[in-house]
Amino acid sequence: MTDVVRLEVQGDIALITVSNPPVNALGHAVRAGLLQAFQDAETDSRVRAVILICQGSTFIAGADIKEFGKPPQAPSLPEVIDTIESCSKPSVAVIHGTALGGGLEVALGCHYRIARKDAKVGLPEVKLGLLPGAGGTQRLPRLAGVAKALDMIVSGQPISAAEALEHTIIDELFEGELAAAGIGFARRLLDDGRGPRRSGEQTRGLEGADNEALIRAKHAEVAKRMPGLFSPLRCVAAVEAAVKLPLAEGLKRERELFVECLNSPQRGALVHSFFAERQASKINDLPADVKPRAINSAAVIGGGTMGVGIALSFANAGLPVKLLEINEDALLRGLQRARDTYAASVKRGSLTEEAMEKRLSLVTGVTDYGALADADVVVEAVFEDMDVKRQVFEQLDAVCKPGAILASNTSSLDLNAIATFTKRPQDVVGLHFFSPANVMRLLEVVRGEKTSDDVLATAMAIGKQLKKVSVVVGVCDGFVGNRMVFQYGREAEFLLEEGATPQQVDAALRNFGMAMGPFAMRDLSGLDIGQAIRKRQRATLPAHLDFPTVSDKLCEAGMLGQKTGAGYYRYEPGNRMPLENPALAPMLEAASREKGIERRELEEQYIIERTIFALVNEGAKILEEGIAQRSSDIDVIYLNGYGFPAFRGGPMFYADSVGLDKVLARVRELHARCGDWWKPAPLLEKLAAEGRTFTEWQAGQ
């Protein structure tokens, strides 16, 4: 045994306790300790049953992330679980907190499982580009059935203890102390004369269903919903092995598929994404002793789609929030929008009526700024106009209590200028939510020149409280996400002038893995929003920088996207399915003719490089300017806010994987042909010359 696993014999029951804070991860010491403890319990003549519990707030919550990428050390997890399952004395896993990944596989290796009522279990390996490689794909279907096993393994989402009981993954729910519950259950087993019941020998989950049909259906679903992803289809193949093969052969097939996933480039990208998200919460120059301010109440200015979404984010976190609008009619529309949003969740079954009413009770509508006097944080979500922002922040400065955080949801305007509208610029910070704010995980926390350390720390704490992925960014036009997406969208529109269609560009980028194509995305958000930004930029950017004109032509014709029924695509009433817009073709011809461009056929790879490398080049400039702390922060922003495919790791990681020398060569070619929009970023040139990557630069500067 090891220091992190101990064995104690109480009468005829062995109590094995894992203590490896904070989450009892399955590092080498834990694996070795478990192996030795179960072997000792097996050979101890006093022992008739074995209980496995964990100290702290959780059962085994998965692999030890400190061992990611390191050579494996014996004993392997499959070896440990095989030893547990083969014991001749009944064993009971006592689950509390979460049993995830290898933790659930260990529990499945035990002969019985009980769980505290608030526990959760799951197999999230697919989110790291892997599959459960220690028997999870073989034992879970034998207990829960093929349908439930496929759902859990392919989605990676955990389920509640109650649901696990329903699907016979666990045997009993309990409340109270772990050891007492485990010993009580084991005592009943012995009194009833029940011995080992090995998951690998069960057949009940494989009976009474057309498993081959379930496999085919899931395979088709994954191919359609997750195109390009490597590990989900291997997850399906592993479960299929459980259906068709004896346990020993199924475990062998599972291991083969696991190794395939392990060696896939996607796995490296997904692991990068995993660590990048955790790194994003760390602020390099923030003193460790800075304490965030207490946030017990919030307010939101503006009852439009964004403002309501932000208000609901606070309500979802259990915080009372006041929603301010300019008059009663506008306020009633905002409050109805909030109710309608929750009602849609109730209709989908993701929220109960009771929960909806509880959350709505936290949202109070007001029309008087004086009602915000006691708010701990106020988020402005009004129209993107600096004069409008000035009016809002001057009033907030007048009524809000000392120490209140004054936050702007601006997506592109100068936060430092906004801060000057108050006498407390140190209390002003950007909280840039993404629409719909109550759904999207990303939150750009914009640090102004005068933003104090404790306000920045509080803004990050608010993001955590709202269950957002928060990333600190500096002040510039568009911050990180929108500054880069401007380059991406502009190049996509230039492609239309060269000869592409919106359908072709969108399809190429969806094939690359983007959640939406750029033109479907523009139609969704509204073309007038982009036009307002372009007008502002045209007034400030050098005259020699050419802008595409197709979007301008659509706006002039009143075609603003889904809101008007036509944009880059046409939409039938009540239907968001994009259809070809016949009015667009002559606009494309006119735009090309005005620029003196002869339209031509464009290859998919050219479309991808023209748009994605525009992101990369701008990202390199952002890094060099210090607007983003690290390249992985840019990746987190694009993975969580812009639909960039997780299996490519984000734009900066993707550039590293392509090779910065190859990226730079293409950027230089486009610079020579397309003008100064494509001027190579100095950092990209430097790293390519040195044979380094953005990731290496981030680590060592």
Residue 236 has pLDDT above 90, yes or no: yes
What pLDDT score was predicted for residue 657? 96
In contact, 146 and 97? CB cutoff 8 Å: no
* Secondary-structure percent of the chain, ordered helix, strand, coil, rounded to 5: 55, 10, 35
Q: Which two tokens stand for residue 338?
A: 């909030």
Residue 690 neighbours by CB under 8 Å, 6+ apart: none
What would the DSSP string read from start to end of 353-407?
HHHHHHHHTTEEEES-GGGGTT-SEEEE---S-HHHHHHHHHHHHHHSPTT-EEE
Residue 539 has pLDDT above 90, yes or no: no
How far CA 171 is from CA of 182, 185, 333, in Å, comes to 12, 10, 49
Catalytic center residues: 105, 125
**Minimal CA–CA distance to 533: which of 698, 413, 656?**
413
**Minimal CA–CA distance to 642: which of 431, 366, 442, 378?**
442
**279-330 confidence digits (pLDDT tens):** 999 998 999 999 999 999 999 999 999 999 999 999 999 999 999 999 999 9
In contact, 526 and 411? CB cutoff 8 Å: no
**21-60 confidence digits (pLDDT tens):** 999 999 999 999 999 999 999 999 999 999 999 999 999 9
User: Higher-confidence residue: 72 or 150?
Assistant: 150
Mean pLDDT of the chain: 94
At the top level of CATH, the class of 5-263 is alpha beta
Q: How far apart are CA 68 and CA 650, in angstroms?
A: 19
What pLDDT score was predicted for residue 384? 87
DSSP single-letter state for residue 470: E
- In the chain, the amino acid numbered 552 is D
pLDDT band at 366 (very low <50, low <70, confident <90, very high): very high
Q: Which two tokens stand for residue 228?
A: 């390009």
Sign, CA torsion 497/499/505/508: negative
Q: How far apart are CA 282 and CA 292, in angstroms?
A: 14
Q: Which residue, chain included where needed, has tokens 């817009």?
A: 581
In contact, 518 and 505? CB cutoff 8 Å: yes
Strand bridging mode 428-433 / 405-408: parallel
DSSP single-letter state for residue 575: -
pLDDT band at 225 (very low <50, low <70, confident <90, very high): confident
**Minimal CA–CA distance to 390: which of 362, 361, 418?**
418
Q: Which residue, chain included where needed, has tokens 């409280």?
A: 465
What pLDDT score was predicted for residue 627? 96
- Where in the chain are all domains bearing CATH 3.90.226.10? 5-263
3-state secondary structure 269-291: HHHHHHHHHHHCCCCCCCCCCCC
Instruction: Name 174's bridge partners.
Output: 116
What pLDDT score was predicted for residue 40? 97
Q: Which residue, chain included where needed, has tokens 């708010």?
A: 375
Q: Which residue, chain included where needed, has tokens 């299996």?
A: 647
Q: Which residue, chain included where needed, has tokens 């929108």?
A: 482
How far CA 271 is from CA of 168, 281, 390, 546, in Å, comes to 32, 17, 43, 39
Residue 539 neighbours by CB under 8 Å, 6+ apart: none
- Where in the chain are all domains bearing CATH 3.40.50.720? 298-475
CB atoms within 10 A of CB 440: 16
Architecture of domain 481-696: Orthogonal Bundle (1.10)
Residue 491 neighbours by CB under 8 Å, 6+ apart: 610, 611, 614, 677
CB atoms within 10 A of CB 226: 16
Q: How far apart are CA 345 and CA 436, in angstroms?
A: 13
DSSP single-letter state for residue 128: G
Q: How far apart are CA 421 and CA 411, in angstroms?
A: 18
- Where in the chain are all domains bearing CATH 1.10.1040.50? 481-696
What pLDDT score was predicted for residue 700? 55
Q: How far apart are CA 179 and CA 547, in angstroms?
A: 69
Architecture of domain 298-475: 3-Layer(aba) Sandwich (3.40)
Q: Which two tokens stand for residue 531?
A: 């036009």
What pLDDT score was predicted for residue 699? 57
Instruction: Name 218's bridge partners.
Output: none
Residue 500 has pLDDT above 70, yes or no: yes
Q: How far apart are CA 670 and CA 610, in angstroms?
A: 8
Phi (first) and psi of residue 472, to 5 degrees: -80, 130
- Rg of the chain over Cα atoms, rounded to whole angstroms, equals 28
Sign, CA torsion 586/588/592/598: negative
pTM of the model: 0.90
Of 395-409, 573-587, 610-624, the one with minimum mean pLDDT is 573-587
